[in-house]
Amino acid sequence: MDKTFKLFYLFFTLFFYGAYGSTHTGGKKQCEAPKRILIFCDMWEDHRMAVGGTEMVVCAVRDGLRKRGHDVRLMGFADVTTYKIPFMDENYFAWPFFMDGVIKKKIKEFNPHHIFIPLLGTISNAAARYCAAHDIPFTAFYSILGTEFFTASTGMPLWFSRSFIHKFLCKATNIVVPTDSARSHAAQEGFANAITWPHGVDQERFTMPAAEEKAMAVKACGLEGKPRPYYLFVGRVSEEKNFSAFLQAKVAGTKVVVGKEGRGFSINRLKKEYPDIVFAGKQVGPDLVKYYHAADIFLFPSKLDTFGLVMLEALSCGAPVVGFNTYGLCDVVPQGCGVSYLANSLDSIAELEACAGQAWSDLQSGVVTPEKCRAYASKFSWSSAIEQLQQVLVPTGLA
């Protein structure tokens, strides 16, 4: 009898806590049950080190969700017919026709709890169209300053850019954007369902160098003997990045450019016109980190980036940010945060130059330090960002 009672008590205890215990968190968040999450994105999933900002966000989301036990799959360039864009290194285009069959098969086989679609190209657009046509809710990711950025990067007229992006966004159940400024901009465009979702930085990868490491990085990057400070730019050498402002800014020291050629510029021609600027081309992995380690100041003139992951990477490596007081910068590194120097006049190169000079002066006097820059960047955690994303991904209702 005693044995029977104990077995009954054990069964009752396990049942009670199994059924009701999970609802009592005791002040702690209950664990997220594993989910199947399908991402549609115009990228090569295995080319982690050869991607842009949006693709890096997708990689961080994919890896972060998988670490939490979720089954995450991506439909990208490997699943459809692609063509390499002429004269554009490592840029591909997904053939938009006959894509619905692939999307249908992917959804049917995987039966996802959530669908996440970053706005990038024809795969994203086709997936959004398919989901809307079949009443499948999905969460869209809108990482750029919409119509203006698309027009600047493609040369398409503004009305075409607006039409393309609006057709994508109007199909989404939820829209996540990286900053409050981007959310306000989306609201002005008529999308009240936008939710602010900040990004993060991998500080295990982007480390702050010791003095010896910095000296080695300076040598490895070919900057030894060149005048300091070293002003670093990382990104596409293109009009949408406002690269002309970087070129025009007259600063004491050496300007260093890391990034591949984009619309509106020829790096070979720039090397002849600006012999004092170091054009390092595209750098990835540890080689990219070396340039961050060598840099004293990060000069980021873009007016259209809604977040700018490169800013957090530079800050993590100890370099303060100089730029214009607009959109992503005013959200990520606002005036008064102690690690940024932002020109209030968005058309004033002279004010940008003054900000750059002040940043170097403050570094030399200790008003701003590499340690302070890294500590600020540590506030942007991918772990926290992934946790937030889990809460806003809309259920598909399929699983």
Q: What is the pLDDT of residues 132-187, one digit of tens each?
A: 999 999 999 987 655 555 555 556 666 666 677 788 889 999 999 998 888 888 88
Four-residue CA torsion sign, 136, 139, 145, 149: negative
Over residues 50-67, mean pLDDT: 86
- What pTM was computed for the model? 0.84
SS (H, E, C) 369-386: CHHHHHHHHCCCEHHHHH
**Contact at 8 Å (CB) between 274 and 115?**
no
What is the C-alpha to C-alpha distance for residues 113 and 126, in angstroms, rounded to an integer? Answer: 19
* Banded pLDDT at 306 (limits 50, 70, 90): confident
Asked if residue 209 has pLDDT above 80, the reply is: yes
Q: How far apart are the first and last CA of the chain?
A: 45
> Where do we find the tokens 């004491």?
252
CATH architecture of 211-377: 3-Layer(aba) Sandwich (3.40)
Q: State the helix-helix crossing angle for 100-110 and 122-133, rounded to 10 degrees.
A: 70
Indicate the pLDDT class of residue 7, thresholds 50, 70 and 90.
Answer: very low
Q: What pLDDT does residue 13 have?
A: 30
Strands 230-234 and 174-177: unpaired
Instruction: Decide whether 32-200+382-392 matches 211-377 in CATH topology.
Output: yes
pLDDT tens per residue across span 381-391: 999 999 999 99
The domain over range 32-200+382-392 is classified in CATH as 3.40.50.2000: yes
Is 60 exceeded by the pLDDT of residue 21? no
Q: Where are the domains of the chain?
A: 32-200+382-392, 211-377
Asked if residue 353 has pLDDT above 90, the reply is yes
Give yes or no for residue 34 having a pLDDT over 70: yes
Structure tokens at 81: 């017919």
Q: What is the mean pLDDT of the chain?
A: 86
**What is the 8-class DSSP label of residue 205?**
T
The pLDDT of residue 16 is 30
Most confident of 30-44, 157-171, 186-200, 207-221: 207-221
